[in-house]
Amino acid sequence: MAICFTIFALALDFEVSSADASVVDSPEFVSIGLKFSGAAAELSNVKSEDDICIAAFDDYGEEFIFNIAENDIAASRDTYYHIQLEEEFDDASDVLQIIDDMDIEGAYPYFDGKDWYLNIGRFGDEDSANEELDDLEDDGLEYDADVVMADGTDILITYREDAVLGYDSSKDIVIKSLSNLPIWIDGKRYRGGAVFRRMSDGKITVINRVRLEEYLYGVVPNEAYTTWPIESLKAQAVAARNYTVISMGKHKSEGFDLCGTTHCQMYGGYGTERSSTNRAVEETRGKFMTYDGKVVSAFFHSNSGGRTEDSENVWSAELPYIRGVEDEYSVGEPKSSWNAQFTSEQVRSKLSAAGVDIGDIEDMKIGSLSENGRVTELEVIGSYGEKTLQKDAIRKTFGYNVLMSTYFSMSSKPTEAAQKNMSVLSANNKTSLDMSSLKMVSSDRRVSSVKSGEGISVISAYSSQKITPEPQKMEQFTFEGKGWGHGLGMSQWGARKMAELGYGYEDILKHYYTGVEIEE
Ligand SMILES: [Zn+2]
């Protein structure tokens, strides 16, 4: 099932990246958005089988900072006033030592990304924080302290309601298991760690920071059937690795690299991993498909229907490695054919939803086909206008789930009313005839049909009158299609068939992606 959804997402949203990533730029870690923008969290929960710690990170690694020493914590926005000792500390252990010595309730360490501080309490307003500070000073507080307000990027980590750590989430800090075990983030298990960012809306963007190859463990089983032959899974793993690197900047403004949904790649984390797909990732570790030394956009789809397509015939970019190829491996496999029907009324409402109003739909015609046989132009004729749908917009308008591909032929059925009638008067009654079925017999006995728009002349005793049938209006359109998806790059069902026939993953990739190399 996951396969279908992925393909629609790719077709919907993918923009061809102009930034060519070179193989050597492959990232060690990726940041995957789990909860963001409208779905950003008020609170996020992290659990681990061992202690939870924090580490500073960069593109290449992680450096341990502090052991929170609990295994079930919650992260929330820090919107409070706190009492804060003026002294800065180099080390969290110094702060913890003072907390132990002071024995003050509600004290916890705060990290600004560089120095450590000692915070006390959470106060909804400044006055109550000041009152508490006065009381502490009256009770003999040995340190100079101020009341501070949390920054808009501060996060508070609590264990059973008690604050155990505060930190500035605009710094690169990851929350993870002390011994690198997979952790639960809001009930789902992931490798790597959790990164919390407070973006402009103030809520918490929840991110899973994970090594690229471990991320792919959680992607490939969601993009392919895990029971498929290993070589087809390996081809899928390389395609997913390519896709990841090409898409790295996609969510930069939201604070992470890729999202975990079909918008980027469906990522299910540790809980969705399977041994077959982990093996496929392992056996292709670090391998990318390149063209001219650059990592390529490895588009794939469910079934080509027998021939793949050139990239510019679906979207606009002309990619030298996404060329239409004969694909006998997909023929007869699942998803290789489909059909769909629309009434003229349904066509009108589909167009209307796309912001196009050309009145009642009277006809639809295939305007042009690509060399590979896919429809690149579909002309729609309305009662007061015409609209030509092009390339991917054809499926977008009718629905990616209904028009499974642009590899189709179409037939139409005229309306009852459009079957033009004429009346023939007899001596005593009137009979209606369907003009389209009317035949004329000329004086030399040749039989011909009445052509639409031409009409016939009827000569009576007194006058001659021309009868012209109106152009036919169509009320139903039937699409007969081949394949499923946009038809660019690898056909998944074709890849499966190739693997079954004994081809290796490199053969599969080189069949579907023109002129590519497999490089590390
Ligand atoms: Zn995304």
DSSP 38: G
Interval between CA 13 and ligand 1 midpoint (Å) = 9
Distance 34 CA to ligand 1 centre (A): 10
* Alpha carbon of 261 to ligand 1 centroid (Å): 6
Q: Tell me what pLDDT residue 103 has.
A: 84
Task: Using the mean position of ligand 1's atoms as its centre, give its distance from the Cα of residue 29 in Å.
Answer: 17
What spacing in Å lies between the alpha carbon of 16 and ligand 1's midpoint? 14
Note the pTM of the prediction, 2 decimals: 0.82
Compute, in angstroms, the gap from residue 253 CA to the centroid of ligand 1: 12
- Distance, CA 212 to ligand 1 centroid (Å)? 16
- Ligand 1 center to 30 CA (angstroms): 13
d(Cα 77, Cα 100) in Å, to the nearest integer?
26
DSSP 304: -
CA 251 / ligand 1 centre spacing (Å): 7
Which residues fall within 8 angstroms of residue 194, CB to CB, at 6 or more apart? 44, 46, 75, 174, 175, 176, 183, 185, 206, 207, 208, 209
CA of 25 to the centre of ligand 1 (A): 20
Q: Which band of pLDDT confidence, cut at 50, 70 and 90, is reported for residue 495? A: very high
Regarding beta strands 107-111 and 162-168, do their DSSP bridges make them parallel or antiparallel, or are they unpaired?
A: parallel
The CA 263 to ligand 1 mean position distance, Å, reads 4
Name the CA radius of gyration of the chain, rounded.
33
- E-assigned strand segments in 191-233: 193-198, 204-211
Q: Classify burial at 263, counting beta carbons within 10 Å of its beta carbon; exposed 0-12, middle 13-18, buried 19 or more.
A: middle
The pLDDT tens digits of the residues spanning 138-179 come to 998 999 999 999 999 999 999 999 999 999 999 999 999 999
Q: For residue 471, what pLDDT is reported?
A: 63
CB 231 within 8 Å of CB 499: yes
Instruction: For 378-391, give the secondary structure using H, E and C.
Output: EEEEECCEEEEEEC
Residue whose C-alpha is closest to residue 419's, from 403, 438, 398, 441: 438
pLDDT band at 423 (very low <50, low <70, confident <90, very high): low
Confidence at 291, pLDDT banded by 50, 70, 90: very high
Q: Please, which pLDDT band fits residue 427 given cuts at 50, 70 and 90? A: low
DSSP type of residue 471: P
Q: pLDDT band at 50, cuts 50/70/90?
A: very high
Return the domain boundaries, the chain. Answer: 1-39+212-336+484-520, 40-210, 337-415+475-482, 416-472
Tell me, in angstroms, the distance from the centre of ligand 1 to residue 20's CA: 19
Strands 474-482 and 408-414, by their bridges, are antiparallel
Give the distance (Å) from ligand 1 centre to CA of residue 255: 12
Ligand 1 centre from 6 Cα, in Å? 12
Please write down the long-range contacts of 88-94, taking CB distance under 8 Å and 24 or more positions apart.
Answer: 88/115, 88/116, 88/117, 89/115, 89/116, 89/117, 89/118, 90/115, 90/116, 91/116, 92/65, 92/66, 92/116
Residue 211 Cα to ligand 1 midpoint, Å, equals: 18
Distance (Å) from CA 248 to ligand 1 centroid: 10
How confident is the model at residue 249, as a pLDDT?
86
> How much distance in Å is there from the Cα of 95 to the middle of ligand 1?
40
CA 515 to ligand 1 center in whole angstroms: 28
254: CA distance to ligand 1 center in Å? 10
CA 362 – CA 473 distance, rounded (Å): 5
User: Helix, strand or coil for residue 230?
Assistant: helix
Residue 342: is its pLDDT beyond 90? yes
CA 37–ligand 1 middle distance (angstroms): 12
Q: What percent of the chain has pLDDT over 70?
A: 85
* Ligand 1 center to 264 CA (angstroms): 4
Tokens of 247: 């898409």
Query: Ligand 1: distance of its center to the CA of 32 in Å?
Result: 9
pLDDT over 50 (residue 17): no
Q: How far is the CA of 222 from the centre of ligand 1 (A)?
A: 15
Q: What is the pLDDT of residues 471-487, one digit of tens each?
A: 678 999 999 999 999 99
Residue 161, C-beta contacts closer than 8 angstroms, at least 6 positions apart: none
CA 75 – CA 88 distance, rounded (Å)? 24
> How many angstroms separate the CA atoms of 97 and 166, rounded?
17
Q: How far is the CA of 228 from the centre of ligand 1 (A)?
A: 26
Q: How far, in Å, from the CA of 260 to the mean position of ligand 1?
A: 7
Q: What is the mean pLDDT of residues 12-16?
A: 41
Higher-scoring residue by pLDDT: 104, 497 = 497
Calculate how far, in angstroms, residue 235's C-alpha sits from the geometric centre of ligand 1: 22
For the cut 50, the answer to whether the pLDDT of residue 18 exceeds it is no
Q: What is the DSSP letter of 80?
A: -
Average pLDDT over residues 309-325: 95
Per-position DSSP letters for 314-343, written without gaps between them: TSS---TT----B-GGGTTSTTSEEEEEEE
